[in-house]
Structure 1
Amino acid sequence: MSAAAWALPTHEDIESATALPVIDLSELDDPARHDAFHQRLARIARDTGFFYLEGHGIDTRTIEELERLTRETFTLPAAAKERIAIRNTPHFRGYTGVGGEITRLRPDQREQIDFGEELPAVRSINAVDAEHPIWWALQGPNQWPAELPALKPAVLDWLDQTRSVAERLLQAFLVALGQSAQALDALVAAPRNHRFKIIRYPGQAQGQSDQGVGAHKDGGLLTLLLQDDVGGLQVLSSKGWIDVPPRRNAFVVNIGEMLELATNGYLRANVHRVISPQSGVDRYSIAYFFSPSLHAEEIPLLTLPEALNEQAQGPESDPENPLFRHIGTNALKGRIRSHLDVAERFYPEQFRLLQEQARAHGGPLQASAY
């Protein structure tokens, strides 16, 4: 399905690259500003779904150190990166080279390392485990490059700090939608399933593919993205593709499909992509995916106030990449479609089903970025 085939925003559109709104989370520190903050957040979330987040409280030095380590990680020798290849583990943690992930039938021109909450594995991929279904294999330890020991503590600290920001932002969303701030606490409780990746987009010469990442929606609740000063991120509106220019030390926040499900489509997951930089220029980004816990089983349906519920259109679902309310099923589907090499090695039954679906639609296996 092409990007144009997705349903586009029906409320206010992003007028220009400079019109992307800015939310200052520190306004919640002042009780007198709460009402205005929540009203604005609700409007922005509904109208555009993409915004900058400032006032998040993460120290600038922490950001700069992780950015430095991100760049250093991708200068490691190829052999060092291959030792932590994502295909080594059923947990979908580790290194993916340029072209190793596919979105909308075309390879993405980026290399990346996927991380998640550092947790022990709870099931063997090859064993029958009635207590833990197959999707529990998503939980497990990360892979770390031995050549860069400073990366592990920096990543684990980032996971903790960014999770706190995302939790506070989710609670603000809930209040803005007339819910208790704690309405989805059980959905994101431990053991957590949040994901995180560091990414390098190498420059592409004219005439080569410029698909840094193809058009897609994110599958979790919220995505918090930190991008460098190169640019290339775009969001789809009814006016076409709109640039999301870098804003120093600010997160770019977008809504994921699971929050769309929870609000019955009142909030929409946003279609976005990344255009590769020009030859000789690299782009780096750091993406945090705030996602439902595997133990929570299903995405609840929030009871919205009548005025909001009347505007809920129901969740949008691609028939070739359907949404599931069951968290484990949906999470495993997303990982398998994103990394076919891992699927073929560790999830042969699910990989076979994907092949059958692809044949039924008359095309090759189609992955889905996250």
Structure 2
Amino acid sequence: MNAATLPIISLTSLDSDEGLAHLLQAASEVGFFYLVDHGLSHDAQQGYLALSKAFFQLSTKEKQSVDMIHSPHFRGYNAMGNEMTAGRFDAREQFDWMNEELALSAEQVRYPWQKLIGPNLWPSAMPKLKPTLTKLQTKLSDITVELLQKLCESLGVDGHALDHTIGAQPYTHAKLIRYPAQQSPQQGVGAHKDPGYLTLVMQDSQSGLKVERGNEWVDVAPIPGALVVNIGELLELASNGFLKATNHKVESPTQGSERYSIAFFMAAQLSATVPVLSLPPELKSRALGPSVDPSNPLLTDVGNNVLKGRLRSHPHVTRKHYCDEPLRHLLEKSFAHMPTADICDECRV
């Protein structure tokens, strides 16, 4: 796939029936598209990517001061080889931040996913990182909420049909990502689907993102100013499989190049349960149910679906913060119905 064959959607076109039809086709047949006219200029994006590069140029000591191992909420810095996808370690380093919230006390935690609620870790060496990324988080959140509502309209249901699942603001998770050059192509991030409603990706000029189409992997070439959008598993669930969450991956750059990107994931509130929308008869007849992966079942309760991914992706954080009682008991209770995979010697999920 090249830039000419990946659908390009203008956010400002979605007030028209023609624009909504184009959106529906892209989201149901491809699950990936470029978004333009979204209000975040190319220059602004370059500024955010430059800030990301400056973070990764901090000393190892400064980055480790906000290492994710210090956060039971899965926030902060991950060095190379600290995140897993599809059972293999990824060749990238990254900085994760989410909604800024107060952590619950141990006595308040009734469900294991509530442990995800908490503050972010911010490096003292970059005081402008927090306000700048918080501003970006708000902007991208607004874009995804508008896009989610337009997707509902394109499905022939009320544009606000999923508003109750996101409340005053959606649950968001974002990453600054650096893919260092490798001597030969490696798993920058392995093949996966995203667990939320929508993902936005801001790319630099270095290619590497690939989407699964049929039996081949095709490139998602960067287009200046465009954001890459992909459908998440929660939207596949809500549409009973009509909209497609698509496998994608990133191959590490080679020959001295680096790749920088910023990924933004929008989901329903952790406490929400995703409903199956009542589609019009014509679309309903074409909705064949969400895809089934026995090793990674989709859960309609958002908190557990999100937590499942975090526990598997960051085993070092899981072992430190999730394997003691009473969390172990809560995990066993919440995931008792699922096929199990090792987390640590005694905890399985």
TM-score by length of 2: 0.91
Structure 1 residue runs of 4 or more that deviate by more than 6 Å after TM superposition = 351-354
Residues 191 and 294, structure 1, Cα contact 8 Å, conserved in 2: no
1:320 to 295, 309, 316: 295
1:14-163 equivalences under 5 Å are 16=2, 18-28=4-14, 31=15, 34-121=16-103, 123-124=104-105, 127-129=106-108, 132-163=110-141
1:335 matched to 2:310: yes
2:341 counterpart residue number: 358
Residues 210 and 218, structure 2, Cα contact 8 Å, conserved in 1: yes
Name the % identity: 41
SS at match of 1:194: strand
Encode CA deviations 1:225-259: one digit per residue, 9 max, x unaligned: 00110100000011411110001121100000011
Matching residue's letter, 1:178? G
Counterpart CA distance in 1 for 2:12 and 2:165 is 25
Counterpart CA distance in 2 for 1:43 and 1:215 is 23
Counterpart CA distance in 2 for 1:81 and 1:18 is 39
Is the deviation greater in 74-83 or in 310-319? 310-319
Residues 241 and 288, structure 2, Cα contact 8 Å, conserved in 1: yes
Encode CA deviations 1:33-61: one digit per residue, 9 max, x unaligned: x1111111111111111110000012344
Counterpart CA distance in 1 for 2:267 and 2:38 is 19
SS at match of 1:197: strand
Counterpart CA distance in 1 for 2:26 and 2:177 is 27
1:7 counterpart residue number: none
Counterpart CA distance in 2 for 1:346 and 1:103 is 20
Matching residue's letter, 1:237? R
Question: CA shift at 1:351, angstroms?
Answer: 9.0
Encode CA deviations 1:313-370: one digit per residue, 9 max, x unaligned: 111132112111111111111111111111111111249989x9236xxxxx999xxx
Q: Extract unaligned runs of 5+ from structure 2.
A: none
Matching residue's letter, 1:215? A
Encode CA deviations 1:197-220: one digit per residue, 9 max, x unaligned: 1000000003xx611011110011
Counterpart CA distance in 1 for 2:125 and 2:199 is 29
Residues 212 and 275, structure 1, Cα contact 8 Å, conserved in 2: yes
Question: CA shift at 1:137, angstroms?
Answer: 1.5
Counterpart CA distance in 1 for 2:158 and 2:214 is 33
SS at match of 1:273: strand
Encode CA deviations 1:126-158: one digit per residue, 9 max, x unaligned: x2436x422111111110011011111110000
Relative to structure 1, is the Cα distance of residues 223 and 23 closer, same or farther in structure 2, using a 3 angstrom cutoff?
A: same
Counterpart CA distance in 1 for 2:308 and 2:84 is 14
Counterpart CA distance in 1 for 2:7 and 2:169 is 33
SS at match of 1:343: helix
